[in-house]
Amino acid sequence: MNQSSKLLNIYTAFFLVFLFTPMILLMVASVNDHSPPSVADWRGFTAKWYSFYWASEDVIRSDDVLRSLDRDRFIRCFANSLTVASIVVPLSLILGMAGAITLTKLNTKYNSFLWWLLLSPMLAPGIILGLSTLIFWRDFGVNAGLFTIIMAQTTFISSYPMLIIMARLQRQPHELEHAAFDLGAGPIRTFWRITLPFLFPALASSAVVAFLASVENYNTTMFAKGGSCTLATEIGSMVRNPNGHPPIINALGTFIIIFTLGFAIIYTFVYQKKDR
């Protein structure tokens, strides 16, 4: 091993430490019996910040810290997130697929314009999409709420499936489609039997990406939400508590980190290997 690659290894190690330290601290604070969350002031191990999410009313009422939290509101916001995602995901898959097909198949001089148009929501700052949706629907008499959140999120989330689907669509030999036509299949059957099954892996990963993007979205949602809330905005407002918020957020964060880690491992070692 030569000098430069040794240096590179050390640098990578530092980078990973920088990357993971905040998250490890977050996880450590999630099991510390100290509110607001702290790692410096160790008060003993506890799992109560986790139990907040499932413990009975009585248990929560008996705890000084947990008592002050509004679990029902949290659950309501979480349910809102799921509602929004359950509409945004299929909507963005459909729009993304339409976009991917158009950009792949349409061969006109307007193509580069279409590229800009359909990718601009992904590039544009999230808040812009939120506030423009807000104003647009206000003019139609629709008040800000879950509906505007869905519209605003769909605007930019559709671009992700579009890119993923397009990458796969371009790998499909166009002869497949011609072969189906030649054997007497109409365009709809060909799409249903040949193109759609071919796109399935791309659709599956698009759905995951779209779901995550929808649930975690904060910037766009903050502008479009009106009086409603989602998981992300709720966490956002908890986190902004100037006196520090009880570590239930750390507990949730720890859960997300572990879940994501597992997902990343599965993706890397199973899915990618199959892909090669």
81 binds another protein (CB under 8 A): no
**Window 185-244: residues binding another protein (CB under 8 A):** 185-189, 191, 193-194, 197-198, 212, 215-216, 218-219, 222-223, 232, 235-236, 239-240, 242, 244
Residue 52 sits at the vertex; the CA angle it makes with 248 and 216, to the nearest 5 degrees, is 50
For residues 8-47, which are near another protein according to CB under 8 A?
8-9, 11-12, 15-16, 18-20, 22-23, 25-26, 29, 36-41
| Number of residues binding to another protein, judged by CB under 8 A | 113
The stretches of the chain forming alpha helices (DSSP H) are 3-29, 48-51, 57-62, 71-105, 111-123, 126-139, 146-157, 159-169, 174-182, 187-190, 196-216, 219-224, 231-239, 248-266, 272-275
As a whole number of angstroms, the distance between CA 183 and CA 130 comes to 48
| CA pair distance 178, 169, nearest whole angstrom | 15
Q: In whole angstroms, how close is the CB of 12 to another protein at the nearest point?
A: 5
Of 31, 84, 163, 210, the one binding another protein (CB under 8 A) is: 163
Nearer to another protein by C-beta: 56 or 238? 238
Binding marks (x or -) toward another protein, 59..78, rule CB under 8 A?
--------------------
Contact range with another protein by CB under 8 A, out of 42-50, 59-67, 71-79, 102-110: 102-110
The candidate with the shortest Cα–Cα distance to 30, out of 265, 254, 268, is 254
Which residues lie closer than 8 Å to 83 by C-beta, 6 or more apart? 146
Closest CA to 134 of 71, 49, 222: 222
Interactions with another protein, residue window 110-149 (CB under 8 A): 112, 114-129, 131-133, 135-136, 139
Q: Which is nearer to another protein, 20 or 73 (CB)?
A: 20
Residue in 31, 151, 210, 251 binding another protein, rule: CB under 8 A: 151
We find the least distance from the C-beta atom of residue 113 to another protein, in angstroms, to be 10
Rounded to whole angstroms, how far apart are CA atoms 9 and 7?
5
| Of the candidate residues 55, 60, 69, 98, the single one contacting another protein (CB under 8 A) | 98
Among 6, 86, 178, 204, binds another protein (CB under 8 A): 178
Q: Which residues between 242 and 271 bind another protein (CB under 8 A)?
A: 242, 244, 249-250, 253, 256-257, 260-261, 263-265, 267-269
CA-to-CA distance for 25 and 63, rounded, in angstroms?
24
CA dihedral over 155, 159, 160, 165, signed as positive or negative: positive
Site for another protein (CB under 8 A): which residue of 56, 183, 227, 274?
Answer: 183
**What residue type is 126 in one-letter code?**
G
154 in contact with another protein (CB under 8 A)? yes
H or E, element range at 32:
none
CB closer to another protein, 58 vs 140 = 140
